[in-house]
Chain A
Amino acid sequence: MSIAGTRVPAASPPRSGDRPFQLLLAVMAAAVPVVIGAILVALIIAGWPAITQFGARFFVTSTWDPVARVFGVLPFMYGTVVSSSLALLIAVPLGLGVAIFLSELVPGWLRSPISFLVELLAAIPSVVIGLWGIFVLVPWVRTVLSPLLKSTLGFLPLFSGPPLGIGMLTAGLILAIMVVPFIVAVSTEVMRAVPRSQREAALALGATGWETTRTAVLPYARSGIVGAIFLALARALGETMAVTMVIGNVPQIKASLFAPAYTIPAVIANEFAEATSDIYVAALVYAGLVLFTVTVVVNALARLLVSRVARGPSLIRE
């Protein structure tokens, strides 16, 4: 209630020196959305010849023939989706398990070092993980894991065909290793943010630790955990080096996990520098545009689901 006759005055204008500075900072900040827009525009322009020539057929053609200049991205989409799904299938339960361990079970002094170690796993460059993949994981899959799977589940088409070591299965495994830290980091953060009162309510009813986690913590943190999964998915979809070093790089669609495959990032990585014709280059850019769009959408969804929990500087800023 203001006193009659008193106008609410406007705020005083910012002083000179402040305005130009704020403008400079704002321009720098605006660089971020501008660059994303520029990336989109650049991809569309460079991919335009392929977009106009192939259009939507691009997504359903499984031929990738640079010589005949026929390009279809279906095998790569298949490879990308299956390897990423396999990765999530492994990484989500494992990652959630670690997150529960870190957030509910581990004593405080141990939490920081362990989660730091998990973050270190994410810091290892992709090419190094790929290197380890070629020389350690692939032989192991070929000589230990595949025979094991074949002898127990070999009747399934999933595990048919010769175990070469390289292929969809290894790619899924290596992707799982690379995305699990994201699931752990985000899920732990989200679970720790669940208020004490929720846990106490369950415990006061006589619930065990696990029951408390299951009924009080996980449901509360559910949207954040889903966000973590989306984040991991986006990472898996875009992962290039480690995948291309172990997946075999053969554009085919096979049911078996032992078969070599190819992903969108891998084909761009392998063929872009050597692409001979303009339409070849444009087709690869078109594929890159697809990758860009999908990862942006998935990331945006992840961002919306994970509420920003204020904490100190995080070392996983991917």
Chain B
Amino acid sequence: MDRRYRFRRAKDRGMVVVTFLCTVAVLVPLFLVLGFLARTGVSALNWDFFTEIPGAAGEPGGGMANAIAGTILLITLAGAMGIPIGVLGGTYLSEYPSTRLSQVTRFTADVMNGIPSIVMGLFAYVLIVLPLRHFSALAGGVALGVMLIPTVVRTTEEIVRLVPQSVREASLALGIPTWKTTMRVVIPTAAAGIVTGIMVGLARIAGETAPLLFTAFGNRFWNWDILQPIAALPLQIFAYAISPFDDWHRQAWAGALVLVTIVLIVNIAARFAANRQVKLR
């Protein structure tokens, strides 16, 4: 009896160790990747990196200025498309949660969040690149925008749902119509959380490469014309990473460091904002 119990206790303690080791094993890659970027990327970060465009193949020098600008342009385009649809759609889901449309939309948004991003690129290719007959920033923006919609819809829904019913009732009891209550009272109350959700969504699409490979396509020069191909930071990182040139490898690490830093800052800020908002309620 005693021996069997000791065995059970040993198994119990053993599992604690095992699960702890699993946790360590899962977190190790995170620190390995971040550490690698910190070590290698920092050395290649210089003023040129942020101000120059790529140099000729094989020659050292040049930077990713146009790629950074391109990414900013792309997420602006994507945001213009995805944010209004996402916020309004998410508001619908939270204000009219049990309609048929709501159930369908909620389900399809979750499914859509899991569709590989390269398929979104194919969609934008068919929709924009084929009719225009060439790659363009617009196509890239559409691909990213389509990815943004379901993300923003779901986060907006979750946040707006958290607004207490008493806030709505207070406004309605004052004789404010329902639509105004939603737009001028409920949404402003949820605004901080909605913005946080949008920022996280934008950070996610800023790091996407696959959908841009045959939509925005990349560009070695400055370009502000949305109907022309455009450079993007993740595209540039990818191109340099698989190139045979050491200097380009270093720039790829620098680019990755910049990209990851932005993504991490946004995610950490979002986490803080979420915690603070929970306390306000």
Contact = CB atoms under 8 A, between A and B. Distances in A.
Interface string A64-76: 0000000000000
B170 interface: no
Contacts of A248: none
A285 interface: yes
Interface string B118-156: 111011011100100001000000000010011101110
B155 A295 contact: no
Contact of B267 (A123, A210, A238): A123
Interface of A is mostly: helix
10 contacts: A25-B96, A26-B101, A39-B123, A45-B126, A97-B22, A105-B20, A125-B263, A128-B33, A208-B9, A211-B8
Interface of B is mostly: helix
A204 interface: no
A303 B110 contact: yes
Contacts, number: 295
A136 B249 CA distance: 13
A142 B214 CA distance: 32
A127 interface: yes
A56 B32 CA distance: 44
Nearest to B236: A127
Contact of B91 (A25, A211, A240): A25
Given A128-B33, A132-B33, A317-B200, A303 B111 contact: yes
A208 B193 CA distance: 41
From A28, A208, A312, residue with most partner B Cβ within 10 Å: A28
Contacts of A32: 89, 105, 108-109, 112, 149-150, 153
Contacts of B183: 21
A41 B32 CA distance: 42
A299 B114 CA distance: 6
A260 interface: no
A238 B116 contact: yes
Interface string A278-300: 00000001001001100110111
Interface in B251-281: 252-253, 256, 259-260, 263-264, 267, 270-271, 274, 278
Interface string B161-189: 01000000000000001111011000000
